[in-house]
Amino acid sequence: MMPTREELRPAGRGAIHFAACLRQEGAPRAPARGRSWLLKQTAMGLSMAASLILPISAHGSTSQPYPDRAINLIVPIGAGGVADTSARILAQRLGEHLKVPVVVQNKPGGGQSIGADYVMRSRPDGYTLMFSTGGFVAAPFLMKGFKLDPVHDFKPVSLVASSNNVLVGSNTIPGGTLKDLVDLAKARPGEVFYGSPSGATTLIFEHLNQVTGMKLEPILYQSTPAAWADIIGGRIHATMEGPALALGQVQAGNARVLAVFGPGRTPEFPDVPTVAEQGYPGFGIESWQGLWAPKDTPADIVNVLEQAVIAVMTTPQMKQEMRAAGLDAKGSTASEFAKEIQDNTDLWRQVTTAAGIQPQ
C-alpha cells in the first residue's frame, strides 16, 4: 500500500518517518535519480532534527545553578598580611554558604595590577573573582603605566571589610594629640616625616596635610614593620596602622595614638578622638577590602555573590573573626561598593592634583 499524504508530511520526527516509509514492503522503488534526491532530502531532514536537539542540550548544560564548582579568589597581594588573612576568612565562610570550595590564590605585584589583570582577562562566569584593598583604587594616581581602570574594567560585588585606622605618633612628639604633630611640622618645615608602606597610606597623609595645613614629608617603606622600626627609633614621626595592630606597641610604650582617621572612634582606643573631632570636620577615611568580578559578569551571578557576602559578613561569628584580624566586617550591595570606589577615585584625583603628585 502506498503511504498516505498524512504519513509523508514532515512534522518534528517526519524526516525519520519519511525515510522509514520508503522502506515499506511493497512500496515502489524510485528511479535511480529519484532515490538520490530522496536520500538528500532525508539527510537534510535528519540535520534539521539534530539542530533542534543540540541547542536544548547546550542550554541544559549552562543552566546549572550557580555556583556548581570551585571558585578561585585572586588576592593581588602577598600572603601573610591583613588582606590575605581576611581573604582566607571570607573564602572559608563563603564556601560554606555557597556549598562549593573557594580557593585563595595570591598573585602579588605591580600595585595589585598583576592579580587584577589576571582577573580582568578571566572568563566572566563568576568562577574567578578578586579580593583587593583600597590601594587598588589609589594605584592609578601613583604608578606610571598603570593601565587598569578600577571603575570601568571590573564589576564591584561587595564591600567586605574596613579598618578604622589610627594615626600613630613617635614618642619624640611633644604632647599626644594631632595638634601637637601639626604644630611640630609647622615649626620645623621639611624635618617632620611620615612613613608610608603603600600608595593608599601616602594619599591619606597627603589629604591630612591639605586639611591641616601642615607638611609632613613622606618616607616610603617596603613594609609596615620597617616603618614601625623607625617610629620606635624616633627616625620618623608618624605612620598609619590598624587599631588592633597598634594596640600592642602603644601598651608597650613604643608609640602613641594621636587620632583616629575614620568617621568614628575605635574600641581599641575609645578615648582618642577622630581627626574630625580635633578640629577638621569632614575628614573621615577608612581603609577597605572588597570583592570584584570581571566586567562582563552577568547581573544574576553578581547578585548571588553579593547576597552571599552580605549573609556571611553580618553573622556574629564573622564580625568576631574580622575584629580579631583588626577589621570591621561589612557586607554591602554592589551599588554601595561601586559608590565607595567612585568616591575614593574622586577624592584621590583631588588630592593628587592639589599636591602636584604625578604617577612615578
- Predicted confidence band of residue 63 (pLDDT cuts 50, 70, 90): low
One domain, residues 154 and 300: yes
Which grid cell is 162?
574596613
Q: What is the CATH number of the domain that holds 261?
A: 3.40.190.10
Say which residue, 73 or 225, is predicted with more confidence: 73
One domain, residues 177 and 264: yes
One domain, residues 76 and 127: yes
- Predicted confidence band of residue 223 (pLDDT cuts 50, 70, 90): confident
Residue 267 lies in a domain: yes
> Which residue in 60, 123, 112, 103 sits closest to 83, CA to CA?
112
Residue 58 lies in a domain: no
Q: What is the pTM of this model?
A: 0.78
One domain, residues 233 and 129: no
Residue 60 lies in a domain: no
Say which residue, 157 or 82, is predicted with more confidence: 157
Residue 77 lies in a domain: yes
CA distance 5 to 26: 17
Residue 113 lies in a domain: yes
Residue 94 lies in a domain: yes
CA distance 252 to 112: 34
| Res 9 pLDDT > 50 | no
- Domain that residue 29 falls in: 5-53
Tally the C-alpha atoms within 13 A of residue 107's C-alpha that lie toward its C-beta. 19
- Predicted confidence band of residue 143 (pLDDT cuts 50, 70, 90): very high
Tell me the CA end-to-end span of the chain in Å, nearest whole number. 89
CA distance 256 to 337: 33
One domain, residues 101 and 191: no
One domain, residues 158 and 172: no
Q: What is the CATH number of the domain that holds 130?
A: 3.40.190.150
Q: What is the mean pLDDT of residues 199-211?
A: 94
Q: Are 168 and 231 in contact (CB under 8 A)?
A: yes
What is the count of structural domains for the chain? 3
One domain, residues 135 and 187: no
Residue 11 lies in a domain: yes
| Res 292 pLDDT > 70 | yes
Q: Are 237 and 193 in contact (CB under 8 A)?
A: yes
Q: What is the mean pLDDT of residues 326-340?
A: 96
One domain, residues 152 and 18: no
CA distance 295 to 120: 7
Say which residue, 38 or 95, is predicted with more confidence: 95
Residue 66 lies in a domain: no
Pairing of strands 256-260, 328-329: unpaired
pLDDT at res. 222:
82
